[in-house]
Each structure stands twice: as C-alpha cells, then as structure tokens.
Amino acid sequence: MELKAIPTLNEHFNEIKKGLAEQEVNNIKHFGKVASVVGTIIECSGLQGSVGELFGIHSTTGEMIPAEVVGLKDGKTLLMPFDRVTGMKAGCLVENIGQSMNISVGSKLLGRVVDTNGKPIDGKGHLQTTHQQPVHNSPPSPLDRAPINEIMHTGIRSLDALNTIGIGQRVGLFAGSGVGKSVLLGMIAKHSSADVNVIGLIGERGREVQEFVHDTLGEEGLAKSVVVTATSDTAAMSRVKGAFTATAIAEYFRDKGKNVLLMMDSVTRVAMAQREIGLASGEPPTTKGYTPSVFTILPKLLERPGKTERGSITGLYTVLVDNDDMNEPIADAVRSILDGHIVLSRRLAHKNHYPAIDVLESISRVMPKIVNDEQRNIAMKAREILATYREAEDLINIGAYVKGSNPKIDDAIKKYPSLESFLIQDLNESDFDQNLWETLKKIIN
C-alpha cells in the first residue's frame, strides 16, 4: 500500500495564498486606450479581443459607449460603436464588457415599440421582462425543421389564392420606392392568422415609423405585435443589431409555442449598414460597393426563421430594389436564400391597382405542397388568363385586336375585369372567406 505525503503547514498556506492571488488577478479589470478614431471606426490598443466581443468605451462625456470588435489590425483592435462617436478622443479608456449580446424579453413585449436593445421608446412606461435572449443565435438544424404543410392566411386575396404562403416559410417582398410595400406589411400584420407579429423597421425615416405604428398598423395590429425600430440616423452597428434583435424576439415567442410572423422592412437597409461597417474596417468592395461580409451575414439572418416542433416563424422581408432592377446584388442574393418572392409592380401602382402585387412575377415555392389539387388547378388557370391578357394588352388597348382571332385572348378579355377586381383590395379589407377559392373558380370558369 502506497502512502501519500501529508502536506506541511507551510505548503498548505502557500496553496491558499496562491488561490487568493489567482482570485485577485481574476477580479482585476484590464483597460485599453483609444489609439485613433477614423470615421466610425475606433482603434484600441492595449486590450485584445476576438471578433464579435463587446467592449465599452468611456467617452469624455462620462458615458460608456458599447462597441463590437469588427476586426484586428497591426496589433490593434478595431471597434464599431453602437452609438455616435461624439466625445471620443485618443486616450479614452476601453474595457472588455465580458458578456454576449443579450436582450430582455417577455410576453409583455406585445403592443410595445422598442429600440435595438429591447428598451421601450413608446412612452408607455417600464417594460416587464422575464428572460434573457441571445441576439445572435444559430439557425435551427436542417433535421430539426418541421415540414411546411399548413397555410398562413394573410387576408390578402392575391397572396392567399395565387401565391399561398405556408407557416414557417420565408418570403421576400421586392419593390421599388413608393409602390406600397409598407402599407401591404401593415395590412398583413392586421389581418394575418399569426399569433404574434414581430416587425423590424430598419433604416426607416423617423416620420415613417410614427406613421406605420399609428396609422398603418393601428391599435388592432399593434395589440398582437412587437415593433423593433432602428431609424436611419442611428449608427450602422445599431441598424444591423436591430435586425437580429427582431429575430431574437421572434425566436422567444416561437419557443413559447406561438406561430410568429416576422416582418422586416427592409433587409436592404441591413445590407447597406453592414456594407458601411465592412468598408470602414478595411474590407474590399465588390459589386456596387458591397463587401464580402454582407453576403456572409444575409444567410445568418434569413435562415433563422422556420418551423420547428415547438412553434414557427414565418419570415416576410422587404427588399428595396434600385430602379426596379430585380437582379441587383442584394435582391439576387436574398432571392436565392428565401422560399419565395412577391414582386410589387410600379406599373400596377400607376393604375391604382393596390396591393400592387404582380402575380405573374411572384412565386411561392411551397404552394404546391400546401394546397390541394383543385386549388392548384384554379390558381394555374387564373395565372394563364392574366398571362394571356398581358401578352395581348397592347393590341387590345390600341384597338388592333379583332374579336374572334384567338379564342384564348377572347376568353381572357371576357374574364380579366372580374379577375382584376378580385385582386384589388382596400386598405382595411381582409378576406378570410372560406369560399375564396369558389369565388375565384366562378370567375375563371
């Protein structure tokens, strides 16, 4: 039997002293200093960190400005603040906050308007929260995703009948400026069958946020909604964080067993904010100045919604297209990630056709799986009538088409007015009529 040596009193004392010394070292705060401020990038020396960590910068105004590590260069740490850089100068102290990016969440979020940190800005008083939710989270595993087999009713006839959206689907709303995308989002928020709406207003004008909340959404829509806002005057880091904050709030309600509708207006503003961060930190510009990190961040954001065994997040993202170019870089990248796209047409908006949804240019990739054969055939027939009429529209308008020349065109001319009336919808009008398909069937037959 081997005997173990019994430690002497001195050895025991030295062990205790060593442990206390380690504890003291662990409690020591390490500070770095601001080396330079160039544009919106702050270079910090004397304090190392990893990309994505949170630092706090002690400004000359006495505030501690949170910032995220966005790069490392020549032994210095590159920081991008979540707020303005006013009050920053060389020598300001910098410390590692030592925490991941979390927000406070709870069921009391419903009916509230919050900023990118989850703090209320609606003047309705303190917000009672119950949980901490990570802002940056991994998308559900591909094998953990439940199949999309249920219809998400939006109350919009041109969507529910001809571009049916499924619970857990991710859809892009592609539009130029001024064709009614924000109004359409408000209509869907008020009339959809979702349990909870989470709406991210990213990079919008302050005036538009006020109008959307009070006029477009209204009390009815706000009652079951959470609005996260990061206006265009906020720092680029806040605009990017706002998109992830809205997604994190949606994940909280999903994990509570809710069917959540996550709407983001717009993902283009998120990409522009990330481009600003990338260029400031020294990334090379690619097409239209967008940096590689933009195309890295988009899948991380857009893959997080979906359907799981606990609940679902249906994603609806607006994409602002330059000069109505549907093939510009962000539109192209987003379209390749999502499960469908809805296109708003300026041509229809000019005709006072609202919602200005171009049915023929739009597609829902899960529609064939969530509607029955009869409904699919009705939708296909309606699309054929719209396509035939559009091809012959110029001839019809100038009076060059002779009736009887083509039976398909004759049929389209006869049915198009009723079909167009079916697709036009008033702002406060919703349609959950169980006979929606029967109405469309009568029109096309």
- Per-residue pLDDT in tens (0 to 9) along the chain, 445 residues: 444 455 554 554 455 445 544 544 455 677 899 999 888 899 999 888 888 888 999 988 888 888 989 888 888 999 999 888 877 888 999 998 876 788 899 999 999 999 998 899 988 888 888 888 999 888 988 888 999 999 999 989 999 999 999 999 999 999 988 888 888 998 898 888 899 999 999 998 888 888 888 888 888 889 899 999 999 989 999 999 999 999 999 999 999 999 999 999 889 999 999 999 999 888 899 888 899 999 999 999 999 999 998 999 999 999 998 777 788 899 999 999 999 999 999 999 999 999 999 999 999 999 999 999 999 999 999 999 999 999 998 888 888 888 888 899 999 999 999 999 999 998 777 665 667 888 999 999 8
- 8 by DSSP, 3-state: which? coil
The CATH number of 102-370 is 3.40.50.12240
Compute φ and ψ for 356, nearest 5 degrees. -85, 50
Q: Do 419 and 444 contact (CB within 8 A), yes or no?
A: yes
- Quick one: residue 168, left, alpha or beta (phi over 0 = left, psi -120 to 50 = alpha)? left
- As a whole number of angstroms, the distance between CA 36 and CA 45 comes to 9
Look at the block and give the residue holding tokens 């979020």: 109
- As a whole number of angstroms, the distance between CA 361 and CA 341 comes to 8
Q: Do 359 and 383 contact (CB within 8 A), yes or no?
A: yes
Q: Where in the chain do CATH 3.40.50.12240 domains reside?
A: 102-370
Fold for 31-96, please state it: Thrombin, subunit H (2.40.10)
Q: Where in the chain do CATH 1.20.1270.330 domains reside?
A: 374-444
Beta bridge partners, 263, equal 199, 316
Q: Percentages helix, strand, coil for the chain, rounded to the nearest 5?
A: 40, 20, 40
pLDDT reported for residue 8: 53
Compute φ and ψ for 377, nearest 5 degrees. -65, -40
The CATH number of 374-444 is 1.20.1270.330
- As a whole number of angstroms, the distance between CA 309 and CA 206 comes to 38
Look at the block and give the residue holding tokens 């109004």: 183
- Find all residues with CB under 8 Å of 62, minimum gap 6, and list them: none
pLDDT reported for residue 403: 87
Look at the block and give the residue holding tokens 């933009």: 294
pLDDT reported for residue 159: 93
CA angle 365, 366, 367 (to 5 degrees): 95
pLDDT reported for residue 86: 79
- As a whole number of angstroms, the distance between CA 440 and CA 445 comes to 9
- Quick one: residue 167, left, alpha or beta (phi over 0 = left, psi -120 to 50 = alpha)? beta
Q: Where in the chain do CATH 2.40.10.170 domains reside?
A: 31-96
- As a whole number of angstroms, the distance between CA 238 and CA 229 comes to 10
Long-range contacts of 391-396 (CB under 8 A, 24+ apart): none
153 burial type by CB count under 10 A (0-12 exposed, 13-18 middle, 19+ buried):
buried
Compute φ and ψ for 305, nearest 5 degrees. -65, 165
Compute φ and ψ for 197, nearest 5 degrees. -105, 135
pLDDT reported for residue 434: 65
pLDDT reported for residue 9: 46
Omega prior to 266 cis, within 30 of 0 = yes
Q: Do 314 and 168 contact (CB within 8 A), yes or no?
A: yes
Structure tokens at 109: 């979020």
Q: Do 132 and 102 contact (CB within 8 A), yes or no?
A: yes
